Amino acid sequence: MQQANGTQQRNGRSKYNPTPYEAAVLGFRNYWYPVFTSGEVNEKARAMTLLGDDLFFVRRQGKVYALINECAHRGTRFTHPLGIYYFKGTPTITCGYHGWTYDVTNGMCVAVPTEGPTSQVPGKVRLRTYPVEERAGIIWVWIGEQTPVPVEEDIPKALLLDNAVVKVRNVIFNGNWRWHAENVNGGHDFIVHNLAGRNWFKTLRAYQDPEINTPEELEDWDGKGVASRTRDAGKSYSLWDIPGLGRWPQRPLWHRLLVNWWIRTTRRYGGAGISRGMLSLPGYFRVPGHPNNGNLYYEWYVPVDEEHYIYFQVTSWFPTNIFGRVGHWLKYYLHGKPLGVVRFNNQDAAMVAETTAYVKRHGPGAEHYFSKLTQNDRFHELWREYCNEHARGVGYAHARTKDAEARPAAVGAADS
C-alpha cells in the first residue's frame, strides 16, 4: 500500500502531495535500525526517541527489550530517575509513580501493587512493544507497524561473518537524516575534508568525469542499493587549471609529492574506496564488494526526530590470524578512529546541519531545489527515486499522537 502510494506519488513534487522521500522527514518505518551497542543497555532503563517514537530500552535476564516510554496511567517515563526495577529476577519494569508493573516481553501490565488483588488493570492494559534483536554486538530495533522481516535482511552480511570484528561510534547529531544520506555523494572532499589526515594518502579526483562516474542501482551478495561506479579511480587524481580562477585543487607541494610517491610505490588507489560509495535503505552507507583482509566501513543515519539523527558508524575487519587482529586494532585506534571516524566525519555532519537549517528557514519543499541541479547530484537524485520505489514505509510526524490514541483507548473500552 505504502509501495503503491510511493509509486503513484513519485512524480508529484508539490509539498501538498509529497513523494515518500519528501514525506520521510522522520525516516522510513518498518526497518531494523541500529541504536546501541550491547554494552550500552543493561538493567536500568535507557531512553531513546526513534522516528518520533519515545522508547526505552532495558535488559532482563540477558535479553534486551524496547517499549514505549510512557506509563499508560499518567504518562510517566520509565526512565525517570525515580523509575525502578522493583521485582528483581522477573522480566518486568515498575513505574516510579504508582508502581504499575509491566511484563517487558509483551508490554502487558501484570500488577498494580498499590491497588491490590482487586485491581482491574492487570491483563487489560498493554504498552506498545518494539521487536529487538542483538547481532554483531549491536542492538537492532524494528520501528514500524508491519510484521518484522528477519533481522538479517537489514544487516550487511559482512557484519555477520564469524571472524568479523565490529567497532561502533554512535553520536546524536543535529540535522535531518536525509541530508547526511545525500552528503555521501562525492565531490566535497577537497573542501570539507581538504588536507584531513585521512586524505593524505588518497588519490582524489580534481573533479568527477560524468562519462565515468555513473550512479546505478546495484545488487551484490551484501544487499541492494544505489552506488556510484568508478572505472580506474587510481588514474583519476589530477590538477585542473580553471580559466580565470587558478589551479584546482590548491594543495601544497609537499603534499602532491607525497601522494605521487605513495601511488608509485604502493600502487594503492585509496581514492577508490570513497568513489565506490553505496546507499541502501533505510538510510545507510556502505562499500560494496566481498570483504577482503582490509576493513569495511558502514554508517547509518537513524532518525531521532525532524532535526536530529543518530550517526551510527561501524568499522569492521576480518582477521584470519592474531597479527591481522592486532594490526587492525592498532590501525583503528591510532589512525582510523581519531582522524577518520571522528574528525573527518564530523566535518560532514557540520554541513548536514547547514542544509537542515536552510530547509528549516525556507519551510517544507525547499529541498526540492536540491534536485536535478547538477551532474554530481545525479547520485542522490537516483537515491531519491530508489527510495520512492522500494521503501517499505514512511515516517509520520504524528507518531506520538497515534500512540496516545492507540494505547489507553483499549482500557476505556474495557470499562464502559
Which 290-349 residues touch a second copy, going by CB under 8 A? 347
Task: At 233, give phi and psi (nearest 5°).
Answer: -60, -30
Q: Which of 222, 154, 177 is nearest to 348 (CA)?
A: 177
Shortest distance in whole angstroms from residue 201 CB to a second copy = 20
Residue 179 has which C-alpha cell? 541530508
Q: According to CB under 8 A, which residues from 70 to 89 bind a second copy?
A: 70, 72-77, 80-82, 84, 86-89
Closer CB to a second copy, 232 or 415, in the complex: 415
Q: According to CB under 8 A, which residues from 92 to 121 bind a second copy?
A: 92, 94-99, 101, 110-121
The binder of a second copy chosen from 62, 150, 244, 252 (CB under 8 A): 244
The binder of a second copy chosen from 106, 350, 389, 397 (CB under 8 A): 350
Over the window 380 to 409, marking each residue x when it contacts a second copy by CB under 8 A and - when it does not, the resulting string is: --------------------xx-xx--xxx
Cell 565506490 sits on residue? 276
Q: According to CB under 8 A, which residues from 249 to 268 bind a second copy?
A: 249-250
Is-contact 180 311, C-beta < 8 A?
yes
> What stretches of 10-162 show up as alpha helix (H) in DSSP?
20-23
Shortest distance in whole angstroms from residue 168 CB to a second copy = 27
Over the window 31 to 70, marking each residue x when it contacts a second copy by CB under 8 A and - when it does not, the resulting string is: -----------------------x---------------x
The binder of a second copy chosen from 42, 163, 266, 375 (CB under 8 A): 375
Is-contact 100 71, C-beta < 8 A?
yes
Closer CB to a second copy, 82 or 322, in the complex: 82
Closer CB to a second copy, 92 or 230, in the complex: 92
Cα separation, 19 vs 401, whole angstroms: 23
Q: Which of 359, 162, 178 is nearest to 282 (CA)?
A: 178
Cα separation, 86 vs 172, whole angstroms: 31
Over the window 203 to 222, marking each residue x when it contacts a second copy by CB under 8 A and - when it does not, the resulting string is: ---xxxxx------------
Cα separation, 112 vs 94, whole angstroms: 9
Q: Which stretch binds a second copy (CB under 8 A): 160-168, 244-252, 268-276, 317-325?
A: 244-252
Closer CB to a second copy, 154 or 189, in the complex: 189
The amino acid occupying position 411 is: V
Q: Is 369 in the site for a second copy (CB under 8 A)?
A: yes
Q: According to CB under 8 A, which residues from 116 to 155 bind a second copy?
A: 116-121, 125
Q: According to CB under 8 A, which residues from 174 to 193 bind a second copy?
A: 179, 186-188, 190-192
SS3 per residue for 120-172: CCCCCCECCEECEEEECCEEEEEECCCCCCCHHHHCCHHHHCCCCEEEEEEEE
The binder of a second copy chosen from 301, 311, 370, 379 (CB under 8 A): 370
Contacts of 273 (CB under 8 A, 6+ apart): 202, 287
Cα separation, 396 vs 405, whole angstroms: 15
Q: Look at phi and psi of residue 361 and say left if phi exceeds 0, alpha if psi is from -120 to 50, else beta.
A: alpha
Cis check: omega of the bond before 215, within 30 degrees of 0: no
The binder of a second copy chosen from 366, 385, 390, 396 (CB under 8 A): 366
Shortest distance in whole angstroms from residue 31 CB to a second copy = 24
Shortest distance in whole angstroms from residue 50 CB to a second copy = 15
